[in-house]
Amino acid sequence: LAFALAALLPVACARRSQDLHCGACRALVDELEWEIAQVDPRKTIQMGSFRINPDGSQSVVEVPYARSEAHLTELLERVCEKMKEYGEKVDPSTHRKSYIRVISHDGTKMDLSGVKIDGDIASSLKFACESIAEEYEDELIEFLSHEADNVKDRLCSKRTDLCDHALHIPHDEL
């Protein structure tokens, strides 16, 4: 019996880590997309060279601020703080863990039955989020700067394999 338990422990820990990293990736993308949506679409930022050309003109273009590299980089530096607003839910049939918001952005009441909320979960999720944001910063900026569809699946499942166990996990929309 002890041998069987010892053999299963690494599998359970690996799955826990995979669930955590997948959940952190999906929550990270959700939070970034929500933050982008909060920016006034008319707000722009000047990009390009600020040097004066020989003809007196400048090579400066205005781009939407919400999806600019400057804004996305700023968001990536602080978005993982939002992980404290998430809890852990265990699927009773598969025993897989998923992470859902426990505080809504708009103040609406949320169904938190079966959701475990504690500091250890929040700090583990935040650490995983920070690791993903650092390791995949270029990919996140690439996908989010171009208004790509299905960023969660494309980044968390296909590009990184963080969620390779579940391409179609339902995840609460924000």
Of the chain, the percentage scoring pLDDT greater than 70 comes to 83
How open is the CA angle 39-40-43, to the nearest 5 degrees?
Answer: 105
135-160 as b/e: b if 16+ CB within 10 A: ebeeebbbbbbeeeeebbbebbbebb
Question: Residue 174's pLDDT is what?
Answer: 38
CA distance 64 to 77: 20
Mean pLDDT of 131-143: 93
Give the per-residue pLDDT at 10. 45
Query: What was the pLDDT predicted at 169?
Result: 43
* Pairwise pLDDT comparison (61 vs 38), residue with the higher score: 38
What is the model's pLDDT at position 1?
A: 53
d(CA 127, CA 24): 9
Give the pLDDT score at 113.
87
Q: For the chain, what are the domain ranges?
A: 14-40+66-159
- Across residues 68-84, what is the average pLDDT? 94
Amino acid at site 107: G
Strand-pair partners of 46: 62
- At residue 5, does pLDDT exceed 50? no
Q: Does the pLDDT value for residue 13 go beyond 60?
A: no
5-14, 39-48, 65-74, 135-144: lowest mean pLDDT where? Answer: 5-14
Check whether 17 has a pLDDT greater than 70.
Answer: yes
CB 62 within 8 A of CB 47: yes
| Average pLDDT score over residue span 142-171 | 76
Whether 103 has a pLDDT exceeding 60, the answer reads: yes
Q: How many residues in the chain?
A: 174
What was the pLDDT predicted at 126?
A: 96
Query: What per-residue confidence (pLDDT) applies to 99?
Result: 93
